[in-house]
Amino acid sequence: MNYQRSLLSAFTTCPAPPSEPTVRSKCVQLLLAALQPEPPDGAGAAELAGAIEQHVHQLHAHSQAKYKACMRSKVANLRNPKSAHLRRGLLAGTLSADAFARMSAEEMAGAELRRLREEYSSRGVSERQLPRGVEGTPTEKIRCKRCGGSQCTVTRGGPDEDAMTFVTCSGCGQQWYHSGWICL
């Protein structure tokens, strides 16, 4: 415990009373608690927590708000049971403190969360794509009111004489019909 206190005091930037820890020393304590829920290797985890804090401080020394947000993210990801690969990698030495400090929230995510994010983004892209082969006769004689493009297709609604004529802009997807050229 004395080793942890001496390590924590080494990372303080300004003197503070012992009852009121500085932001940096509190961040080291939070990282240490997140790295070792059960204390097997106190000295190694304390050094690792100090190194992570130093690297994060170097990255965000210009903005205390960004520093605090980054530290909250790191601590939350280390505490998350679904991100146990981060804690194991740090304690085993396969993930360096510098690399961990530079990781974004997306990079720290576990495999399941990455898969879900990829699924959501691909579903969102497919929902917003324009249809590829718009049926109808292509024409450049009609201008779209929305985008101003002239790449349009004309489609008749049915085989009878009173069928409506639909126009679809190939550029933006805007549709309208012939009855006064009302937009849909």
| 13: confidence class by pLDDT, cuts 50, 70, 90 | very low
Encode pLDDT of 18-47 as tens digits: 444 688 889 999 998 888 766 566 678 888
Ordered structural domains, the chain, with CATH: 2-110 (no CATH), 137-183 (2.20.25.10)
Among candidate residues 72, 99, 77, 98, the one with its CA nearest the CA of residue 87 = 77
DSSP annotation of 175: E
CA angle 111–113–117, rounded 5-degree value: 115
| pLDDT recorded at residue 38 | 62
Q: pTM for the full model? A: 0.55
Encode pLDDT of 134-151 as tens digits: 578 888 888 888 888 888
| pLDDT recorded at residue 133 | 60
39 or 84, which is more confident:
84
Give the pLDDT mean for 74-81.
90
> Regarding beta strands 137-139 and 182-183, do their DSSP bridges make them parallel or antiparallel, or are they unpaired?
unpaired
| pLDDT recorded at residue 20 | 43
Which residue do the tokens 């004689």 mark? 141
**Dist CA 79 CA 156 (whole Å):** 61
| pLDDT recorded at residue 162 | 67
Could you tell me where the DSSP H helices lie in the chain?
2-10, 23-35, 42-59, 64-79, 84-92, 97-102, 105-108, 111-128
| pLDDT recorded at residue 44 | 80
> Regarding beta strands 152-156 and 165-169, do their DSSP bridges make them parallel or antiparallel, or are they unpaired?
antiparallel
| pLDDT recorded at residue 11 | 47
DSSP annotation of 148: -
**Dist CA 136 CA 98 (whole Å):** 58
Hey, how many other C-beta atoms are within 10 angstroms of the C-beta on 47? Answer: 15
Encode pLDDT of 95-132 as tens digits: 899 999 999 888 888 888 888 888 888 887 766 665 56
